[in-house]
Amino acid sequence: MPSYELVFILNAELTEDDSARLLDKVNDQITKLGGMVSETNTWGKRKLAYPIKRQAEGNYVLKKVQMKPSALKELDTSLKLTENILRYLAVRENS
C-alpha cells in the first residue's frame, strides 16, 4: 500500500478533549477504510497566513498513513464534511 503524509489544521477553539476525539475519529475512519496510521505528530497552535473560516489560528497535525488510493478518495470526502477541520492535504511519500 502507498504511504501518505496527511496534514490538517483543526479549529483552534476546540478544547484538548474535543481535539483528541476528532483525531480518534480520523484514525477510526482510516482504519475502517483499510488503512493504517503509523505516526501522529501534533505541531500545536500556529497563526494562519490568512483567515480560514473566520479563524486566525489553527492546530496543526501530521499523520503518516498507509492506504489504497481509492480509500484516500473516501477519506477526502469525509474530511471535507468535518466541520472542525479547516484545511487538509494528503501527499504521497516517495518510496
User: pTM for the whole thing?
Assistant: 0.88
CA–CA distance, 53 with 44 (Å, rounded to integer): 19
Cα(95)–Cα(79) distance, integer angstroms: 25
User: Which residue type is seen at 10?
Assistant: L
* CATH number listed for the domain at residues 3-92: 3.30.70.60
Distance CA 38, CA 65 (A): 6
| pLDDT tens-place string over residues 73-89 | 999 999 999 999 999 99
Q: In the chain, what are the domain boundaries?
A: 3-92
65-76 per-position pLDDT tens digit: 999 999 999 999
pLDDT of residue 95: 63
